[in-house]
C-alpha cells in the first residue's frame, strides 16, 4: 500500500518528487531530527500548497517516529493541531524504502523563527507583539488540553518547543511534529503509560528533568515543556541560552525577577517604540509599589503560569 492505514488519497514517491521539484533545496523549509520538510504543490488537489516531511530512514528511530506520527494524527480534528493530509510508505526510484507525511502548510513558519529570527536581505525582521504572544499561548494550551483530556486515549506530545509550533496566515498556532508522541494506557490511573521510557528523547531544555531520573511518561511532562515555552515567549531567551548554567536556569531567571522586576527581563521586542515611555513608567511604579503592576497583567499572568508549569515535578 502506498499509504499507512489512513482514509486519505494515496500518493507515490514519484508524485511527491514531482511536487517538490525532485526535492529541490529551493523547496526545503526545515530539517528535523528524523528528516527534512519540503514545500510542495499538489497538482491533484487544486494546486494546494503542502508541507512534505521526508523521513531519513538511515536515522535510528525515524521509522518508529513515522508510525508514531501517523497514529497520533489519525482521526485528530482540532484547530490548533497540524492536520495530516496523507502518508506515503513506498519505495524510491532506487528501490529503497521511502516514507513521508503530507501535512497542511503553515504560511508563517514556526514560532522559533519569530522569537529568534535570522535577519538577512531575504528574510525581513519579524516580531510578535504582546497580543499575538498571548493568543499563541492560548492556542497551544488548547491543543494540549485536547490531547490530554479529550481523546479516547490521552496523547503526550513529548517534544513541545517553539520549532514545533507552526503559525498559519492568520497567526493561529498549530502544534506539530508528533514523532515522539506517546499514548497513555487505558487504565484508571491517568498517568500510567503504555510506552517504554527508553524511547523518550525530547529536546534539552524543554523536556522535563524528571524523565532523565526515570519518571514515567505523563501529561505533566508536556505541562513542564509548556511552562518553559511560555517563559521563552515572554523573555525572548531560550532555555539553553549561554547565560544559564547549573545554578541558573530559565525558570530561576524569571522567578528571581518576579514580580517587581519582571519588566526588566521581558523580551525587548515586546516593547514597541511608541509604548516605551508607558512601559518604563510601569516598570518604575512596579518597583515602587512592590509588584502592583497595574496594566501589565498580560505579561505577569503568562509568566506566572510559565513558572508554575515549569516547576520540578
53 is in an annotated binding site: yes
> What does the longest C-alpha to C-alpha distance in the chain come to?
71
Interior angle at CA 88, CA 82 and CA 91, nearest 5: 150
Asked if residue 259 has a cis previous peptide bond (ω within 30° of 0), the answer is yes
Query: Residues for the chain: how many in total?
Result: 313
Residues 6+ away with beta carbon under 8 Å from 33: 59, 61, 65, 179, 201
Q: Residue 265 has which C-alpha cell?
A: 527581563
DSSP string for residues in 74-112? TT---TTBPPEEEEEEEE-TTS-EEEEEEEE--TT-BHH
Catalytic residue (one of 97, 145, 159, 249)? 159
To the query of whether residue 159 is one of the catalytic residues in this protein, the response is yes
Contact 166, 109 (CB under 8 A): yes
Among residues 247, 248, 234, which one has the least CA distance to residue 306? 234
Distance CA 42, CA 10 (A): 12
* Residue 295 CB-density burial (10 A; 0-12 exposed, 13-18 middle, 19+ buried): exposed
Distance CA 35, CA 158 (A): 18
The annotation places the binding site at: 53
The annotation places the binding site for ATP at: 53
Active site residues: 159
Amino acid at each position: 500500500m502506498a499509504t499507512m492505514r489512513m482514509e486519505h488519497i494515496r500518493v507515490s514517491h514519484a508524485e511527491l518528487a514531482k511536487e517538490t521539484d525532485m526535492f529541490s533545496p529551493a523547496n526545503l523549509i526545515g530539517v528535523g531530527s528524523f528528516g527534512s520538510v519540503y514545500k510542495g504543490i499538489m497538482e491533484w488537489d487544486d494546486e494546494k500548497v503542502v508541507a512534505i516531511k521526508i523521513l531519513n530512514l538511515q536515522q535510528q528511530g525515524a521509522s518508529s517516529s513515522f508510525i508514531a506520527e501517523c497514529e497520533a494524527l489519525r482521526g485528530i480534528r482540532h484547530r490548533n493541531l497540524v492536520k495530516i493530509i496523507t502518508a506515503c510508505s513506498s519505495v524510491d526510484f532506487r528501490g529503497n524504502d521511502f516514507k513521508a507525511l503530507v501535512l497542511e502548510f503553515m504560511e508563517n513558519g514556526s514560532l522559533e523563527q519569530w522569537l529568534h529570527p535570522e535577519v538577512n536581505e531575504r528574510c525581513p525582521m519579524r516580531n510578535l507583539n504582546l497580543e499575538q504572544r498571548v493568543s499563541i499561548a492560548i492556542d497551544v494550551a488548547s491543543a494540549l488540553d485536547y490531547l490530554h483530556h479529550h481523546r479516547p486515549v490521552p496523547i503526550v506530545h513529548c517534544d513541545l518547543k517553539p520549532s514545533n509550533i507552526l503559525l498559519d496566515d492568520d497567526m493561529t498556532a498549530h502544534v506539530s511534529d508528533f514523532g515522539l508522541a506517546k499514548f497513555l494506557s487505558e487504565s484508571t490511573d491517568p498517568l500510567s503509560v503504555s510506552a517504554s521510557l527508553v524511547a523518550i528523547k525530547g529536546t534539552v531544555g524543554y523536556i522535563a528533568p524528571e524523565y532523565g531520573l526515570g519518571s514515567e511518561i505523563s501529561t505533566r511532562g508536556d505541562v513542564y515543556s509548556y511552562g518553559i515555552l511560555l517563559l521563552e515567549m515572554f523573555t525572548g531567551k531560550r532555555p539553553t541560552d549561554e547565560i544559564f548554567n547549573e545554578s541558573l536556569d530559565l525558570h530561576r531567571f524569571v522567578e528571581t525577577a518576579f514580580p517587581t522586576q519582571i519588566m526588566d527581563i521581558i523580551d525587548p521586542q515586546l516593547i514597541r517604540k511608541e509604548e516605551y515611555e508607558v512601559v518604563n513608567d510601569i516598570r518604575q511604579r512596579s518597583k515602587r509599589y512592590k509588584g502592583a503592576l497595574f496594566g501589565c497583567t498580560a505579561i505577569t499572568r503568562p509568566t506566572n503560569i510559565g513558572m508554575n508549569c515549569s516547576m520540578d515535578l
